[in-house]
Amino acid sequence: MDSSGVSFGTRLWRAFRNVMLGTLFLGLGAAAFYALSVMNSRTWTLSVTNGQLVVLKGRLLPMGAEPWTPSDSHLAEAYGPIDLAGNASLVVAGRKFDDRDQLDQALFEVLERLAAPRLSSDAPKDLDKGLVYVRRAERLTGLTAEQRQTLKKMQQDLAFHLAQDRLDDARKKLEDALEQLKLAAESDSRHRADASLMLIAVEPQVKLLATTLRATTMGRPSDGSKGIDLSQVLGPQLKEVFEALQKGGASDGKPPAERPSAPAPVDSQTSTRP
């Protein structure tokens, strides 16, 4: 009876031990599965799909990834698909990153290579495409100091192109505003008199400015050719301005050296009263 009692207690202890060991192993396995899943969910991979560079984010599983579609609009614009324009060889497909700064730096390398040949072109279409790549690069926050300097240089290369676009847009708005003033001045509306006065006041300046702005955009034909020399186009206008300044400075008929100078101010402390 004692031996059977000891045997039952031993079997009970062994059963309890096995249950505890099994539970421990299952817990360790679940913990390892979860840890690997979390690590995988914090990785990013570059992939080329249909000629576009796509950022994949790891699933909450030990392996696997899917296209990253952030809910934040700023992140979505920064990490959305990038048109490679037939340059899929620029991307090392399957490259994995454990840090988002590393992802930003890798994306910048691709964007820089895509933008470089377009920024060196004179064709507006190429420059517009280069501007798209530069704008994407501006949204990446994890760049190195060297990459930030490169980005600044790219922005400087686009500055003249952007200035031309904005000046041309300003010219169109000025000319449209002038047409609207003329329409209002010729109508029977209650603003007819005000429109007529405003038209008299601004029409000459708007026409001169519009002509100048139009001349500044004549030097960039859409085919990327050299175009018109702006110095030749604007030369006569600059000459007229310079001559007008000269006439204004010598309106009294005397050279500057012979003109009487203004009387020197009298010091109130040293002056004497009569």
Distances (CA, A) of 138 to 31, 43, 157, 214, 261: 40, 22, 14, 31, 56
pLDDT number for residue 265: 47
Q: What are phi and psi of 231, to 5 degrees?
A: -65, -35
Each domain of the chain, given as residue ranges in start order, spans 41-143, 165-223+230-244
The low-confidence residues of the chain, meaning pLDDT below 50, are: 1, 227, 251-253, 256-257, 259-260, 262-274
Hunting for tokens 């930030």 — which residue is that? 148
* Chain centroid offset of residue 100 CA: 20
pLDDT number for residue 228: 52
Q: Rounded to two decimals, what is the model's pTM? A: 0.65
| CA neighbor of 48 nearest in space, from 2, 10, 83 | 83
> Do 232 and 218 meet the contact criterion of CB atoms below 8 Å apart?
no
**57 beta partners:** 44, 66
- Which residues have a Cβ under 8 Å from the Cβ of 216 and sit 6 or more positions away? 164, 167, 168, 230, 234
pLDDT number for residue 205: 87
Angle of CA points 106, 110, 112, to nearest 5° = 110
> Do 244 and 208 meet the contact criterion of CB atoms below 8 Å apart?
no
**pLDDT tens-digit map of 181-196:** 999 999 888 888 998 9
